[in-house]
Amino acid sequence: MDRFADARAGARTYDLDGLRERVLTERGGQVDESIPQLAAADPDLCAIALVLAEGTVRASAQAEVAVSVQSAVKPFLFALALLDTGGAALERVGIEPTGESFDAIKLEAGTGRPPNPMVNAGALLTASLVHGADVAARGERIVAGLSAFAGQDLRVDEDVARSEHLLGDRNHALAHLMRAEGTLEVSADDAVAVYARACAVLVDARALAVMGATLACAGRNPLSGEQVVPASVARDVVSVMATCGVYDGSGRWMRSVGVAGKSSVSGGIVLSAPGVLGAAVISPPLDEQGTSVRGRAACEALSADLGLHVFASHSA
């Protein structure tokens, strides 16, 4: 029996603009100020998109407004690293939640590996494992891989990439720490440069939802039909998103939303509900854990209204 048939039917007619209007009344949170381009974000931006497993795309107003993907890129970097290393990336990065913030200067005790691919240390490492002879080649392969997930040609915001590279002091610190532990093979500066480019890829809610849907469809893009990564990779990525995707807010997220999600400092959230849909919300004001305030509210509502919570019993 397909317990998510009702969810898919509900998603086909869900009033996304009504949900957008409702969450827009939420005025809490602060726009990230780590780089000038993020500090200049429009706090009133709010966009929601859904992509169903059969390929139907549903989008609210503003679903074509692009922001830099930031940490919502991390599940996809992990996927590309697993693909390019034939799974060996799992020996190079842990998969345990940290209970700490996204940029904590901390590696796994005993191994010196990053704790998981959803925090900055882990994403610096997974980005370094994507194939490419140098920074430029690795950056190009990452953009091509992300474009395959999105089913459209994505591009890098060069100003954001430069700012991330120049101003990411904690990322430089993490890369040097991994060098000192012997867990990062490329130079610290190369690692930060590639990760900064990946964070600076522009996505709108629609593109981000397709990316989430590709993970939800066992690695096959439901719009283009391309098998971007093997089903086993998609399963591994969604599992780690579910446990680590919202940093030190991951437990609360799993209880209240119950769908694997990844937050980002640009206010994007990507959701992946296997076999059902991918979704994205973009709204810049963030809570203390770096999660979009309206994004969380929209994801909670979508989960409750469509019955997406993976641990909710539907048999009662």
Binding residues for ligand GLU (CB under 6 A): 34, 70-71, 102-103, 120, 164, 168, 171, 199, 264-265, 290
The residue behind tokens 């700012």 is: 163
Question: Between residues 16 and 118, which has the closer beta carbon with respect to ligand GLU?
Answer: 118
Least Cβ distance, residue 84 to ligand GLU (angstroms) = 21
CB nearer to ligand GLU: pick between 187 and 224: 187
Least CB distance from residue 231 to ligand GLU, whole Å? 27
Kindly tell me which of 221 and 291 has the beta carbon lying closer to ligand GLU. Answer: 291
Q: Minimum CB separation from ligand GLU for residue 98, in Å?
A: 13
Q: Smaller CB distance to ligand GLU: residue 151 or 290? A: 290
Closer to ligand GLU by Cβ: residue 61 or 65: 65
> Shortest approach of ligand GLU to residue 229 CB, angstroms?
22
10 Å CB burial of residue 34 (0-12, 13-18, 19+) is: middle
Least distance from C-beta 298 to ligand GLU, angstroms? Answer: 18
Smallest distance from ligand GLU to CB 268, Å: 8
Question: For ligand GLU, which is the closer residue by CB, 221 or 283?
Answer: 283
Q: Please give, one letter per residue, the 3-state secondary structure of the chain.
A: CCCCHHHHHHHHHCCHHHHHHHHHCCCCCECCCCCHHHHCCCCCCCEEEEEECCCCEEECCCCCCCEECHHHHHHHHHHHHHHHHCCCHHHHCCCCCCCCCCCCCCCCCCCCCCCCCCCHHHHHHHHHHCCCCCHHHHHHHHHHHHHHHHCCCCCECHHHHHHHHHHCHHHHHHHHHHHHHCCCCCCHHHHHHHHHHHHCEEECHHHHHHHHHHHHCCCECCCCCCECCCHHHHHHHHHHHHHHCCHHHHHHHHHHCCCEEEECCCCEEEEEECCCEEEEEECCCECCCCCEHHHHHHHHHHHHHHCCCCCCCCCC
Q: How far is the CB of 13 from ligand GLU (least distance, A)?
A: 33
Residue (219 or 267) nearer to ligand GLU, CB: 267
Rounded (10°) CA dihedral 178, 179, 183, 186 = 120
- The residue behind tokens 């609360």 is 252
Residues 6+ apart with CB under 8 A from 161: 196, 197, 199, 200
Least distance from C-beta 296 to ligand GLU, angstroms? 14
Nearer to ligand GLU among residue 72 and residue 89 (C-beta):
72
